[in-house]
Amino acid sequence: MSRRRKHAEHANHERWLVSYADFITLLFAFFVVMFSSSQVDKRKVGNLALAIQVAFQQLGMFSPTGAQPSIVKTSTPFGKAQMIDAEVYTEDMGRIVPNTSRHLGPAGFNQRPERIREELQQALADQLRSRQVAIRLTHEGLVISLREIGFYDSGSNTLKPGASLLLARIAGILRPRTELIRFEGDTDDRPIHNDLFQSNWELSTARATGLVELFIRDYGFPPSRLSAAGYAEFHPVALNNTPEGRAQNRRVDIVVLNSRFWDTLGGGVPVATPDP
């Protein structure tokens, strides 16, 4: 028999190409996925950003700097598309969120508080000089203090003759506005016990609610703008150890509410106006 000759096996030096091809394929797939992820619909992202910005502007979180939203920084066609969409979003958001520039409510003043204070100071000049009225600015709002000496008899919630005329002047200035108003009754620390009221709590609350009723009934204020609070002797503005201090604490404060600090008054620091 003839013996079959075995051929010597040669080592395959090209097997690395298989692993290399697999690696290149995986690398290609990786970069395709990364590229696809980076190509998100930029217009939709821009629309979302604009919608959020318009919503914050309408809520008064920050003031718009002009007709062009500050988010748009480019003159490319995409930037123009954003501008068009911004106008649409502004119009749409106006139907959902009240425009704070037209109706501020408790969020702020629709004119500078100094102007309101000046109008009140002119209308109540005599009462300010006689210290029957005091006006000051705080972080809560514009406070008009009606002291007992000019408006009430001691221990009573009935207005003195002539007090209604002064209140009519105040109401005439505040009625065309939109801010919310809170009436706060306060007393000194001397206990009260008479036929009408059993405590300072009752007296302070009765005076505040009486003014609310007056402003609604006689001066045409919408009830939704007004509220009342009675603080008795626990919100003093002066010490109760002197007759002058107790006289300042016996009062009703008309607070034209503002829930934000005023940027124009010392960077938001509450500012008090000294009595004339």
Taking each helix axis from N to C end, the angle separating 163-174 and 200-217, rounded to the nearest 10 degrees, works out to 60
Q: pLDDT at position 11, please? A: 62
DSSP 87-135: HHHHHHHHHHS--TTT--GGG--SS-HHHHHHHHHHHTHHHHHTTSEEE
* Mean pLDDT, the chain cut into blocks of 10 residues (276 residues total): 59 73 87 74 66 62 45 43 43 42 44 82 94 92 95 94 93 93 96 91 96 96 96 95 95 86 38 40
Residue (of 192, 227, 195) closest to 211 by Cα position: 227
Place of tokens 């939709």: 44
The Cα 267–Cα 114 span in angstroms is 15
Quick one: pLDDT at residue 75?
Answer: 41
CATH topology of domain 105-257: 60s Ribosomal Protein L30; Chain: A; (3.30.1330)
Note the pLDDT of residue 109: 57
**What's the pLDDT at 193?**
82
186: tokens are 């306060």
pTM assigned to the model: 0.56
pLDDT for 41-98, tens place per residue?
666 666 677 777 666 665 555 544 444 444 444 444 444 444 444 444 444 444 443 4
What residues does each domain of the chain span?
Answer: 15-102, 105-257
- Rounded distance between C-alpha atoms, residue 105 and residue 180, angstroms: 6
> Residues for the chain: how many in total?
276
- Spatial neighbors of 187 by CB under 8 A, at least 6 apart, are 200, 203, 204, 232, 233, 249, 250
